């Protein structure tokens, strides 16, 4: 039994996320976690809300609430929506918790003692209108690299270039909109990433199995311009983890907090401690410390491409630089962006479908299937309503749903709601088993490799095999001449439905559970092989006819939804 530690990028607390955020980290992480559990492996799947930094302060101010209250409320909202999408986190934590405070301050002390943190007196943007220093996300302007007009003071989301506020063209305050800004002297802490460049580069070069998207972004940051730069890890904010050196005050750092991108990845570790403190597990260190048992853990991270630089450079620098035996990530699965109907999702313009809205339209399986089967792995992908309708209607309703419905209803009409006896396997059935055995092996290989789209294609092909067999074997015709032979066809087909429940569960857990319940399956553990799986239901076992698993999306619904979520265009 292997042990898998799985984390998905922790979402910002500032509002409900759109479908692109979902498919870029949490959903494929859940797919992988569900698959590994089905294979009988031990899994710890962690996520949390990212509650510090400028986004939280701005969102709370807009909502007219104290930031701590706002974060607590939004954590509950995001947890509820995650449950609605059946994201099977072992724990969904909070980066504002005491565990993350303690660990972040601990890492800062270790890095300082190792000579990897230095105090730097610098010039920082000050807003006269706001009467305060402006941390990077309080400043927006035009990116000097690509010309994107909404680049933030820390990074351009369009080209992923790391920035400082002074780099921006025509900067303005995101609080007041004021351009009356000046540079003033202040003191901050910097993580000396440049000192660790060779070590980080050697580590990244060793990851020959990582996606090209992941390693190319990391190498770009290592080599572009002047190479890997030291990174400021403190900010002039009220909300965040106070700058302390472990349990001690940090002279000269009074009133400052750690930068959100310093403390947020540390929450992955803190979240495991929260998991234990919540009574859900024991001994979190066996997952995170190699001297406490984590040496045999396989650690996989899932994230969108905008998060890659911090997870391939800053967080590893923190972990490795501490000099302590912490578990370092083994594999980073990164994703491109999901776009919406020829443009970007936009909260301000009401453009695109957000997670709560999606669940109000259709059950989660519909969205899970489309998003995973169109995951933006090799390039950006595009959500269109026509494609969504086609995929749901053809894949889910016409292929999987139709197969289960036809088999169970025919059996009930001719043999009752028990698995019939009689009939033997012939050449057609043996060919089916051979085909399915190869396909299930391929499907499992794709799931192991986290090739999400390829896995979905193979799963759909497995569903199609059942439909083709049923159509060719035609038990409704055979029954007229030889009821016993028809019974054998039906028994095999019912076992196919049971197998589909197991194989489909990582993608569409609710429908899989419904099929499993109808087939009387006690669990959804992975089969040893296809022949044994197709004998799982025995003669005389009871089954039920499930309700219609998937309904089709109508043209009228398509038109209405397309108009509703088009948003306000410029």
Residues paired with residue 44 on neighbouring β-strands, in sequence order: 5
Angle at 107 between CA 101 and CA 113, to 5 degrees: 135
Write the pLDDT tens digit of every residue in 337-360.
999 999 988 877 889 999 999 999
Q: Which of 214-228, 380-394, 466-480 has the lowest mean pLDDT?
A: 214-228
Write the pLDDT tens digit of every residue in 91-104.
999 999 999 999 99
pLDDT at 85 (0 to 100): 98
| Mean pLDDT within 136-162 | 89
State the Cα–Cα distance between residues 242 and 71, nearest whole angstrom.
17
Residues paired with residue 141 on neighbouring β-strands, in sequence order: 151
| Mean pLDDT within 38-67 | 94
Residue 151 has φ and ψ, to the nearest 5°, of -70, 145
Q: Which of 75-79, 223-227, 305-309, 362-366 has the lowest mean pLDDT?
A: 223-227
On the question of pLDDT at 570 being above 80, the answer is no
Write the pLDDT tens digit of every residue in 195-254.
999 999 999 999 999 999 999 999 999 998 778 999 999 998 889 999 999 999 999 999
State the Cα–Cα distance between residues 306 and 442, nearest whole angstrom.
31
Q: Is 6 helix (H, G, I), strand (E, B) or coil?
A: strand
| Mean pLDDT within 116-143 | 89
Pick the CATH number of 384-533 from 1.10.730.10, 3.40.630.30, 3.30.460.80, 3.40.50.360: 1.10.730.10
| Mean pLDDT within 551-568 | 93
State the Cα–Cα distance between residues 381 and 42, nearest whole angstrom.
33
Which residue is listed with tokens 């190498």? 219
Q: How far is CA 262 from CA 7, 96, 165, 266, 532, in A?
A: 17, 13, 18, 7, 50
Q: Ramachandran region of residue 243, left (φ > 0), alpha (ψ -120 to 50) or beta?
A: beta
Write the pLDDT tens digit of every residue in 429-460.
999 999 999 999 999 999 999 999 999 999 99
State the Cα–Cα distance between residues 258 and 233, nearest whole angstrom.
6
Which value, to the nearest 10 degrees, does the dihedral of the CA atoms of residues 453, 454, 459, 465 take? 130
* Residue closest to 265 by CA, chosen among 76, 448, 53, 115: 53
Could you state, in order of their start, the residue ranges of all structural domains in the chain? 384-533
Instruction: Compute the mean pLDDT over every residue in the chain, rounded to the nearest whole number.
Output: 95
In the chain the first and final C-alpha atoms are separated, in Å, by: 55
pLDDT at 239 (0 to 100): 93
Cβ atoms of 57 and 239 closer than 8 Å? yes
Cβ atoms of 332 and 308 closer than 8 Å? yes
47 carries a ligand binding annotation:
no
Tokens of 21: 């955020």
| Mean pLDDT within 166-191 | 91
Write the pLDDT tens digit of every residue in 159-170.
888 888 888 999
290: part of which helix (H) or strand (E)? Answer: none
Q: Ramachandran region of residue 31, left (φ > 0), alpha (ψ -120 to 50) or beta?
A: alpha
Burial class of residue 481 in the structure, from the number of CB atoms within 10 Å of its CB (0-12 exposed, 13-18 middle, 19+ buried): exposed
Q: Ramachandran region of residue 252, left (φ > 0), alpha (ψ -120 to 50) or beta?
A: left
Write the pLDDT tens digit of every residue in 254-279.
989 999 999 999 999 999 999 999 99
Q: pTM of the full predicted structure?
A: 0.93
On the question of pLDDT at 135 being above 90, the answer is no
411 carries a ligand binding annotation:
no
Count of residues in the chain = 570
């Amino acid at each position: 039994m292997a042990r898998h530690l799985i984390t998905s990028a922790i979402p910002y607390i500032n509002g409900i996320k759109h479908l692109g955020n979902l498919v870029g980290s949490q959903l494929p992480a859940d797919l992988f976690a569900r698959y590994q559990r089905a294979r009988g492996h031990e899994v710890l799947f962690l996520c949390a809300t990212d509650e510090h930094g400028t986004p939280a302060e701005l969102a709370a101010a807009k909502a007219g609430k104290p930031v701590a209250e706002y974060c607590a409320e939004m954590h509950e909202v995001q947890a509820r929506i995650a449950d609605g999408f059946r994201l099977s986190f072992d724990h969904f934590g909070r980066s504002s918790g005491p565990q993350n405070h303690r660990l972040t301050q601990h890492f800062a002390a270790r890095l300082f003692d190792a000579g990897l943190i230095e105090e730097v007196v610098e010039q920082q943007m000050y807003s006269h209108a706001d009467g305060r220093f402006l941390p990077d996300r309080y400043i927006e302007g035009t990116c000097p690299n690509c010309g994107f007009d909404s680049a933030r003071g820390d990074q351009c989301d369009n080209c992923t270039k790391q920035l400082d506020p002074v780099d921006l063209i025509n900067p303005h305050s995101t609080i007041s909109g004021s351009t009356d800004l000046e540079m003033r002297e202040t003191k901050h802490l910097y993580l000396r990433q440049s000192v660790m460049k060779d070590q980080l580069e050697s580590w990244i070069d060793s990851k020959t199995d990582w996606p090209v998207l992941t390693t190319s972004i990391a190498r770009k940051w290592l080599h572009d311009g002047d190479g890997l730069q030291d990174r400021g890890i403190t900010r002039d904010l009220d909300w965040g983890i106070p700058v302390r050196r472990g349990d001690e005050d940090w002279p000269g750092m009074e009133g400052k907090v750690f930068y959100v991108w310093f403390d947020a990845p540390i929450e992955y570790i803190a979240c495991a401690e929260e998991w234990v403190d919540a009574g859900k597990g024991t001994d979190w260190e066996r997952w995170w410390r190699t001297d406490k048992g984590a040496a045999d853990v396989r650690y996989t991270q899932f994230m969108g491409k905008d998060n890659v630089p911090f997870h391939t450079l800053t967080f590893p620098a923190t972990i490795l630089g501490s000099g302590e035996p912490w578990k370092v990530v083994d594999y980073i699965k990164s994703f491109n962006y999901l776009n919406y109907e020829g443009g970007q999702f936009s909260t301000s313009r009401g453009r695109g479908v957000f997670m709560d809205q999606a669940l109000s339209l259709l059950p989660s399986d519909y969205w899970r299937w489309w998003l995973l089967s169109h995951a933006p792995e090799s390039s950006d992908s595009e959500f269109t309503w026509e494609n969504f309708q086609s995929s749901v209607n053809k894949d889910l309703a016409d292929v999987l749903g139709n197969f289960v419905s036809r088999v169970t209803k025919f059996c009930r009409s001719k043999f009752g709601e028990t698995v019939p006896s009689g009939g033997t396997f012939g050449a057609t059935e043996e060919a089916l088993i051979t085909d399915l055995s190869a396909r299930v092996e391929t499907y499992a290989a794709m799931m192991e490799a986290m090739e999400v789209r390829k896995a979905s294609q193979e799963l759909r092909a497995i569903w199609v095999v059942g439909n083709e067999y049923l159509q060719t074997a035609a038990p409704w015709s055979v029954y007229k001449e030889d009821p016993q032979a028809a019974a054998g066809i039906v028994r095999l087909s019912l076992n196919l439905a049971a197998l589909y429940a197991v194989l489909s569960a990582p993608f569409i857990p609710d429908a899989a559970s419904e099929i499993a319940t109808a087939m009387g399956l006690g669990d959804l553990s992975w089969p040893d092989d296809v022949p044994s799986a197709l004998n799982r239901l025995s003669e005389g076992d009871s089954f039920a006819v499930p309700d219609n698993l998937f309904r089709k999306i109508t043209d009228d619904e398509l038109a209405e939804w397309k108009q509703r979520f088009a948003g306000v265009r410029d």
